[in-house]
Structure 1
Amino acid sequence: MISLAWPMGLFSKRVATWLRILMTQVLYIAPLFWFMELAQNMAWRQVNGDWGWVFPESPYHWFSFGSLILWAGCVAMLWSLHFFWFYPRRVKVWTRIAIATVFTFAGEWFGGYMAANVFGHPLQVWPGSPLVYVHWCAMFFWMSNCIIYHLVTVDVVDLTPAYDAPPDEEAPAAQTA
């Protein structure tokens, strides 16, 4: 947690740690999520007969390289939640997954809304969805993405800092005779 009572050196060290790890995670995880998005959209098409979400301005229509920026934002959101909220408060894994799923679902809607209404270039659109930029069915995809994020960053590659590891058992005090 960041506190105003910290000395400036400790604050800047904490921010530098957050930024260093964020850049590493964006480099590795954002492309992984992008490929997962392609697989999820292809799976949606296999099950339902049409693409789940489309990219109106993409020449490919069912995927867009422009969505990588939203995936970088997703990784930044997940890392920030972990660094500033989940880890300091020791939030349990399934609670983390549930909270992160809601945040990322809302983030997808917000990113789609901003792209279409503020920047004038709609990114993703879910045909037939009342929310336009995301569908309620996407909760399942977001939950799977949050599980993958947790597994990759903590359990497989350890793209989190050393403080995330469980504390070592303290060595027993030396006995003097």
Structure 2
Amino acid sequence: MNAMSLTQAAAQRRSFGVYARVLATQILYVAPLLWLLELLQNQAWKAANGTFGWVYPDSPYQWFSFGSMVLWVGAVFLMWTLHYYWFHPKQYRLWTRIGIASAVCWVGEWVGGFMAVQLTGKHLQVWPGAALVYVSFPALFFWVSNVIVYHLLTVYGADLTPDYDSPADI
């Protein structure tokens, strides 16, 4: 059997139960950590630029919101789904994974902000002065760092991935 056949066979053996179990674990542990990282990133943006990079107009705190946790649950869902069903079975290299996942999550941030306004009439986040309103192009830098932290936490840190998974080569 060649390497591609072995990879495809392994991908077919993986069950939805494993996917769902690991996703639930990652949501419980990783999403809150990424939310805290977001708070630090917004503080760093303010330290560098004098104003917050993104605000939460419907939050009494303005610079953070507990409601934004739903975006982090969505981000963990996106990153784990990409990894489980696409990146690992096709053996994507680490920097390719980081680039694709960062772009997908960046678009997901815009979609999440847009959908929040459309469905609830309330904003999750707004980037003042940004052409896309719910996300800014500099946010790609933050998404790259978030995806790297996600990878470090789930593969190298607390091993929140199934046994079949091993750290990808750089």
TM-score higher than 0.5 here? yes
d(CA) in 2 for partners of 1:28, 1:55: 24
TM alignment of 1:65-144, pairs within 5 A? 65-144=66-145
* Residue 2 (structure 1) shift: 9.7
Unaligned runs of 5+ in 2: 1-6
Q: Kindly, what percent of the aligned residue pairs are identical? A: 53
Runs of at least 4 residues off by over 3 Å: none
Inter-partner Cα distance in structure 2 for 1:84 and 1:38: 30
Pairwise CA RMSD of aligned residues? Answer: 1.8
**C-alpha distance in 2, partners of 1:110/1:53?**
16
The letter for the 2-side match of 1:49 is G
Task: Report the alpha carbon displacement of residue 95 of structure 1 after superposing the two structures with TM.
Answer: 0.2
How far is the alpha carbon of 1:155 from its aligned partner?
1.1
Partners of 2:27 and 2:15 in 1: how far apart? 18
- CA shift for structure 1 position 116: 1.1
8 Å Cα contact 2:8-2:89 kept in structure 1: no
Alignment deviations for residues 134-169 of structure 1 (CA, whole Å, 9 cap, x no partner): 000000000000001111111111100001037xxx
Question: 3-state SS of the aligned residue for 2:29?
Answer: helix
Q: TM-score, structure 2 length as denominator?
A: 0.89
Q: Which runs of 5+ in 1 are unaligned?
A: 167-177
Q: Cα deviations across residues 55-85 of structure 1 (Å, max 9, x unaligned)?
A: 0000000000000011001001100000000
Look at both structures and tell me which one has the larger radius of gyration over its CA atoms. Answer: 1
Instruction: Show the counterpart of 1:171.
Output: none
